[in-house]
Amino acid sequence: MGKNLKGRECGKGICQRKDGKYAARYTSKNGSRKEKHFDTLPEARNWLADVQYEEKHDLTAANSDMTVDSWFEFWITNLIADLAPNTKRNYRERYRINIQPVIGTMRLCDVKPMHCKIVLNRMEATYAGSTIRQAYITMGTMFWAAVMNGMLTKHPMNGVRYTKPVRAVDDIKFLTVDEQEKFLEVATRSHNYRQYILLLETGLRTSEMIGLTWDAIDWKKRTLTVSKTLEYRHGEGIWLAGPPKTVSSYRTIPLTTRAYDVLKMCYDERHIRKESELLSQILEYVDRRTGQTKYLCMRDLVFINYRTGEPAKNSSYDTHLYKLCDEAKIKRFSMHALRHTYATRAIERGVMPKVLQKLLGHSSIKTTMDRYVHVTDASLTIAVQQFEQATVLAG
């Protein structure tokens, strides 16, 4: 039994030092010694009880000296290597900008809910709710993996919430019928006109359109199969092929006449287009469904930049779109808004949400319902006309 400076018993493993602090000591099963100093006796007793409980119930962290920085790199490199490149990029960005400055150098086992809450609080004033949600998801999945692998005994995000609302459905940008007509009238003179038409007729993601190759098109069945993506990694200065976003994103889409005609025109002109040496590359990627290595031959890409002979970057599409929007005198939008517009038109024209889910490659019908089954002015007008027509027929 240890004693305090007045000679009173403090309890087994605890004693008071000459500077007044209480030293708590414990020797684990493997012979390693733990010691920690506290200002009060209750704090020392609580700590000693905790480490004894963890030892008894085999809850001791596997590596208590690992920092959050070290765990993040291990986690993103080894445990989630099969995630989509965009998802991992988002994780890295949120970690580097928002999470790392607060807890990066801390020991993994020392992170508490209050530290995670500080990360989110610091983002409140300057970030959108959707970005804060990304940071929340990054910390949550990273620390959950640490719990599952015995690196933590408790999840430090327990009880942590963010309060800023994520973008509402009404904030998802899509073109009204009038805006779509104005945009297409101006876009007719653009070298990217066919790409815009294809997105409005199929709802492809931009990376799926950029990575589209001729073997994905079945001219007899008039279908287009989505099985890969292509994106430019600005930080590394390279093109990267990859699988679609999720397993559900693998899909075969029947082509509308307009989409078919656009692709056929591109195919007929493939031998006279300018092609850069860059197109000699063959990129590897892993099929998300089978784990097998697949290849994307860049020379087989359907769409390339008419001036450079290289694939057009996602960012360059957006930059060009802004100019067209200004010319058409409509609010600026990005390439992804064309996918939203396709989905909105589909719902307005009576396509069932479950069918639209398959066409868009959504994993969950909830995603489709939440994002696209919204009430537009056009759908309200159509509904009233249908009601009125039914009333007249009934009379």
CB 100 within 8 A of CB 69: yes
pLDDT tens, position by position, 233-257: 877 788 999 999 889 999 999 999 9
> Which of 87-91, 140-144, 188-192, 274-278 has the least mean pLDDT?
87-91
pLDDT tens, position by position, 350-367: 888 899 999 999 888 887
Question: Would you give the distance in Å from CA 16 to the centre of its chain?
Answer: 52
CA distance 239 to 305: 14
Residue-range domain boundaries for the chain: 2-56, 68-167, 173-377
Asked if the 68-167 domain carries CATH number 1.10.150.130, the reply is yes
CA distance 181 to 149: 54
- pLDDT number for residue 169: 47
Those residues whose C-beta lies under 8 Å from the C-beta of residue 381, and which sit 6 or more positions away, are none
Q: Is the predicted pLDDT of residue 390 greater than 50, yes or no?
A: yes
Q: What is the CATH number of domain 173-377?
A: 1.10.443.10
> Which of 57-66, 71-80, 183-192, 332-341 has the least mean pLDDT?
57-66
- Buried b / exposed e over 79-113, threshold 16 CB at 10 Å, is beeebbbeeeebbbebbeebbbebbeeebbbebee
Classified as helix, coil or strand, 163 is coil
- Res. 170 pLDDT band, cuts 50 70 90: very low
Distances (CA, A) of 389 to 14, 298, 347, 392, 395: 86, 53, 21, 5, 10
Report the interhelical angle of 193-202 vs 257-268 (nearest 10°): 150
Question: How far is it between the farthest Cα atoms of the chain?
Answer: 101
Can you tell me the mean pLDDT for 215-221?
97
* Averaged pLDDT score across all residues of the chain: 86
Q: Pull the structure tokens for residue 183.
A: 């945009």
pLDDT tens, position by position, 321-332: 999 999 999 999
Can you tell me the mean pLDDT for 213-237?
92
Q: Which residue has the higher pLDDT, 388 or 193?
A: 193
pLDDT tens, position by position, 86-112: 788 889 999 999 999 999 999 998 999
Can you tell me the mean pLDDT for 128-152?
90
Fold of 2-56: Double Stranded RNA Binding Domain (3.30.160)
CB 143 within 8 A of CB 103: no
